[in-house]
Amino acid sequence: MAKSSSFSCSACGASFSKWSGRCEGCGEWNTITEDKGLSSGGPAKKSLGMRRGRTIPLTDLATEETPPPRSHSGVGELDRVLGGGLVAASAILVGGDPGIGKSTLLLQAAARFAEAGVKTVYVSGEEASAQVRMRAQRLGLAQAPVKLAAETNLRDILTTLEAERPQLAIIDSIQTMWADHVDSAPGSVSQVRAAAHELTTFAKSNGISIIMVGHVTKEGQIAGPRVVEHMVDTVLYFEGERGHQFRILRAVKNRFGPADEIGVFEMTGAGLSEVINPSALFLSERGQPSPGSVVFAGIEGTRPVLVELQALVAPSPHSQPRRAVVGWDSSRLAMILAVLEARCGIPFAGLDVYLNVAGGMKISEPAADLAVAAALLSAREDTPLPADTAIFGEISLSGALRPAPQTENRLKEAQKLGFTSAIAPGGGKSVSVKGLSQRKVSDLTGFVGEFFGAG
């Protein structure tokens, strides 16, 4: 029985079971081509796939197919985000803004892996080997046993990797790779999808770990079809503000470890250095208590992190006041303002509201609601909160406060950094930490009346 062919549009990436002149997805003409894998093409080419016609009972997986232990790079923050180390035969996608430090981080990681005995190949599609070597000298990695290559032809890369048989291959970047069986320009949707598919298949069938670098769009998503993120095992985003030296490596998908785990790095003249205690670093520049400044005890992945929230409330000269947010969800801020006005009788009409997460950190968990409300009220009433107090808790639309998960870890982190009190929602499991007093609050109205004398 003949194998059925598949077709895809080189402009938008839509898939079809048969060829047609016009793409139904984007409306372009003559962009639908037949998909041919690199492993196809006749008996002279060796298949890159798994052995055919062979199945393994689930109960026998502990014998022949048991994966080897994880490889550790020696960079604690990177190993933490990967879930405890690099898993053999895994495909990892790393995305980030241009110039954020992706190539620097991966070159340092390649050197560490190689020094730990992992055979590593670094393939650059954007720079020549001499340019990569210059960066390695600047980072003090010139003597690292890493093999370099500068190539964009996917077939040549796979042939070289099959001959070298490394344990780790780094592809920088996936948008520069081109497969000669796809009739479209490098960086297009079809090329990115084909290159990611072939590299992932090669990693699984040959037991090689492959890390692919991906550029991001204006919206912050990895450029190309979202199907690329579904192909790989792990998706990491390298985040950070250009005005800050801190960089956050965040896992948004991980089949071998917890998602939403973060690793914190600091950009220095000698490259990226890992930050062992990010809470102390984020709070290192915090000065005297001032209105609008609040410390939030948060959880990122499995790690407790304390960050400073800064709010500014000022009269607006415009008919529509501004609502500016950096590092938090703007729609969540609008909800907090509405709850404060509807449940506590505190209006923000005619006032500009600015909210900032210090240090370039990005917060997504709802447990920051109470800390944001405290920062807004402190700025509006021009009343500073105690400097030795950490705050956390989720606010519902009724104004009630909900307990936050991992309360004990948040309190222990605050106590370790010298905080003596914490404001947390009432209810839930009672947790006590030696040296830290807790003030339980059941609803937002009670919090406003206790600390600001209103509501």
Please say if the pLDDT value at position 388 is more than 80: yes
Query: Does 199 score more than 90 pLDDT?
Result: yes
Instruction: Give me the mean pLDDT over the 286-298 stretch.
Output: 88
Q: Provide CB contacts within 8 A for 369, sequence distance 6+.
A: 332, 336, 393, 394, 395
pLDDT on residue 62? 54
Strands 120-124 and 168-172: parallel
What does the pLDDT read at residue 27? Answer: 83
The answer on pLDDT for 372 being more than 60 is: yes
In the chain, what are the domain boundaries? 1-34, 70-276, 280-452
Q: Choose among 104, 158, 157, 152: nearest CA to 132.
A: 104
Q: Given a cut of 90, is residue 424 above it in pLDDT?
A: yes
Any binding-site annotation on 364? no
Please tell me whether 271 is known to bind a ligand: no
CATH of domain 280-452: 3.30.230.10
Per-position b or e across 15-39, b if 16+ CB within 10 A of its CB: ebeeeeeebebeeeeebbbebebbe
User: Does the structure show a pLDDT above 90 at 361?
Assistant: no
Cα(249)–Cα(235) distance, integer angstroms: 10
Q: What is this structure's pTM?
A: 0.76
Mean pLDDT computed over every residue of the chain: 86
179-195 per-position pLDDT tens digit: 988 888 888 888 888 99
Structure-block tokens of residue 204: 């699984």
- Tell me if 102 is assigned to a ligand binding site: yes
Closest by CA position to 339, among listed 420, 444, 258, 241: 444
Kind of pairing between the strands at 421-425 and 437-441: parallel
Q: What is the DSSP letter of 330?
A: H
**Comparing C-alpha atoms, which of 285, 189, 201 is closest to residue 244?**
285
pLDDT at 168 over 60: yes
Domain spanning 70-276, CATH architecture: 3-Layer(aba) Sandwich (3.40)
**Residue 17 gets which letter from DSSP?**
S
- pLDDT for res 60: 59
Instruction: Check residue 54 and give its pLDDT.
Output: 61
Torsion angle, alpha carbons of 428, 434, 439, 443, to 10? -20
Query: Which DSSP category does 30 fall into?
Result: S
> What is the token pair recorded at 203?
């990693």
**Which is nearest to 330 in space by CA: 296, 364, 301, 306?**
364
pLDDT > 70 fraction of the chain, expressed in percent and rounded: 87
Task: Give the Å distances, CA to CA, from 273 to 108, 114, 133, 354.
Answer: 10, 18, 20, 31
- Any known ligand binding at 96? yes
Q: Is the pLDDT of residue 442 over 70?
A: yes
The identity of residue 391, as a single letter, is I
Tokens describing residue 110: 């390649």
Provide the pLDDT confidence category of residue 208 given band limits of 50, 70 and 90. very high
Q: Are 174 and 212 in contact (CB under 8 A)?
A: yes
In sequence order, the β-bridge partners of residue 273 are 266
Query: Annotation-wise, does 67 bind a ligand?
Result: no
Q: What is the pLDDT of residues 40-53, one digit of tens each?
A: 444 444 443 444 55
Residue 442, preceding peptide bond in cis (omega within 30° of 0): no
Residue 166, marked binder: no
User: What percent of the chain has a predicted confidence (pLDDT) above 90?
Assistant: 55
pLDDT at residue 43, rounded to an integer:
40
- pLDDT, tens only, 301-324: 888 999 999 999 999 998 899 999
Phi first, then psi: give them for residue 262, nearest 5 degrees.
-125, 155
Q: Is 98 annotated as a binding residue?
A: yes
Closest listed residue to residue 100, CA positions, set 214, 242, 271: 242
